[in-house]
Amino acid sequence: MGKMIELTAADGHKLAAYRADPAGTPRGAIVVIQEIFGVNSHIRSVTDGYAADGYFALAPAMYDRVQRGYESGYTPPEIEAGRAIMQKLDWKQTLIDVSAAIEAVKSAGKVGIVGYCWGGAVTWVAAGRLPGLACAVPYYGGAIPNFISEQPKCPVMFHFGEQDQSIPLEQAKKVVAAHPEATTHFYPAGHGFNCDQRGSFNAESAKLARERTLEFFRKHVG
């Protein structure tokens, strides 16, 4: 459905991005931030899904700074490999890449951002540090507690799994307590519950979280 395009970040770095266009006039735009597995088939299908809902959707290849064209599955060795690349990334550059994606889609109207796993943490930090976002939806970002003091510039909706080992419940609750202005939802699920290619996939929770996310985008993006 979508296609790969190239973005140029403010520092001249060129990165790939998966672009999916809606059938009619876009309601607005959604930037989709990947997990540690790259812009793989799952992230492409999530991006296609937002396009089917009427948004111009774009998933920037956030790992291109370290390894171009990276995508993987979900086995333990692939999790290790994905983590290793993530640890080589620099937050400043990561945010420059998110900005490049926001710039690339803003012609479609207001811009929302959604991110999963590592992308959830990126989404949360972007909400506090980047201009141009109408709202942000972080899904179970393990590093979010490290950034508890960020002050989002736009409305935020958190999705957390109650059985998530990457971001234990008491940590998630601390984040929520520190940010009463955010909309927060907890699910009887583990980390990665939105991903239908992972053992931790929870169909009911994923469906409910997606419905809530769409409602949030309808309200804030269009």
Phi, psi angle pair for 121, to nearest 5°: -65, -40
Note if 164 is an active site residue: yes
- Which one from 48, 64, 97, 164 is the annotated catalytic residue? 164
Q: For residues 122 and 94, is the Cβ–Cβ distance under 8 A?
A: yes
Taking CA atoms, 82 is separated from 96, 101, 114, in Å, by 20, 21, 19
Determine which one of 42, 48, 64, 117 is catalytic: 117
Spatial distance between the Cα atoms of 82 and 163, rounded to a whole number of angstroms: 22
| Residue 186: its H or E element | strand 183-187
Please, are residues 115 and 93 in contact by the beta-carbon 8 Å criterion?
no
Q: Which of 135, 191, 195, 220 is catalytic?
A: 191
Active-site residue list: 117, 164, 191
